[in-house]
Amino acid sequence: MTLAPTHRHGQAVWSDTQLLYALEEVVETELNRHLKVAKEWMPHEYVPWSDGRNFDGVMGGEAWAPDQSKVSDVGRIALVVNLLTEDNLPSYHHEIATLFGRDGAWGTWVHRWTAEEGRHGIVMRDYLLTSRAVDPVELERFRMAHMSEGFESDNQHSMLHTVAYVAFQELATRISHRNTGHHSGDPVCDRMLARIATDENLHMIFYRNLLGKAFELAPDQTMGAVRDVVVNFRMPGHGMPGFERAAAQIAIGGIYNLRIHHDDVLQPVLRFLKVLEIGGLGPEGLKAQEELGLYMGGLDDQATKFDERREALLARRRARAERS
């Protein structure tokens, strides 16, 4: 097998296998950097165990009620969405292990990433149940329904599309966790989600740097992948029960919406990599770059309209609250 790309119309064309081999050294470098800066932490240290007590059922404890929760209404909704997303880790591991492989630096990264992500589900569930933040019966039923459906990535057809997707998705997850903590109303929850968000940021940096190297090797193909991912971006939890309604409430609550997606997720990665300024592209790369720029401009306009509608809705709610 040759590691050199083929050429079409003067532009290099890489297969997934060729890119995997070509990026192996970068993966090793980024993995070593990650291991140096990532700090060990213990999920149990972020859980208020002394608040815990038995639920009803076989232990004969107290049934859950909404007034037992210390977190805000929108905080409860976002916490359930965030945890259900983390619950699908086995499917995510299968997807990236299939694409990236289980050997060498790629395999080491896949397993390390999975182990770190596993902490997030552990600490979130322990916190939610111990603090009685959410209905445990509803949470378990949602988990069963969501995991029983499985997960298929929109980008499983392409290793390059997958790298582009996770560069944005890890940042989106970090922002979602961080904002959920800020809006939760519980300092314990805020501290826990801040710890998780720190991990997600390091994961984003790994994939963002890898994406930057891919632009050097295969600029046209990488530009096309980034355009496709940005235009068709969906969070991995989109298939969970009641996701559309929950996403709308989360958007209005200021945890994750079009403005946040544009300003705090897409723009930082695009800006850091100077994606819209890259030169030397072939016809396909130039077309993808132009389409990406047009899409970002349109998304900014949509976000502005959303902001206006959101503010009008919140103003009406405040007025009703004052009258009552």
Here the tokens at position 81 are: 């969405």
Confidence band, pLDDT 50/70/90 cuts, at residue 259: very high
Neighbouring C-beta atoms of residue 91, cutoff 10 Å: 15
d(CA 9, CA 3): 19
Average pLDDT for 25-43 = 97
Whether the Cβ atoms of residue 171 and residue 201 lie closer than 8 Å to each other: yes
pLDDT of residue 11: 63
pLDDT of residue 50: 96
186-229 pLDDT tens trace: 999 999 999 999 999 999 999 999 999 999 999 999 999 999 99
3, pLDDT greater than 60: no
36-50 pLDDT tens trace: 999 999 999 999 999
pLDDT of residue 167: 96
Does 53 or 321 have the greater pLDDT score?
53
Our measurement of the distance from residue 183's CA atom to the centroid of its chain's CA atoms, rounded to an integer in Å, reads 18
Encode the chain in three state secondary structure: CCCCCEEECCEEECCHHHHHHHHHHHHHHHHHHHHHHCCCCCHHHHCCHHHCCCECCCCCCECCCHHHCCCCHHHHHHHHHHHHHHHCHHHHHHHHHHHHCCCHHHHHHHHHHHHHHHHHHHHHHHHHHHCCCCCHHHHHHHHHHHHHHCCCCCCCCCHHHHHHHHHHHHHHHHHHHHHHHHHHCCHHHHHHHHHHHHHHHHHHHHHHHHHHHHHHHCHHHHHHHHHHHHHCCCCCCCCCCCHHHHHHHHHHCCCCCHHHHHHHHHHHHHHHCCHHHCCCCCHHHHHHHHHHHHHHHHHHHHHHHHHHHHHHHHHHHHHHHHHC
Dihedral over alpha carbons 246, 96, 157, 25 (to 10 degrees) = 130
Our measurement of the distance from residue 83's CA atom to the centroid of its chain's CA atoms, rounded to an integer in Å, reads 12
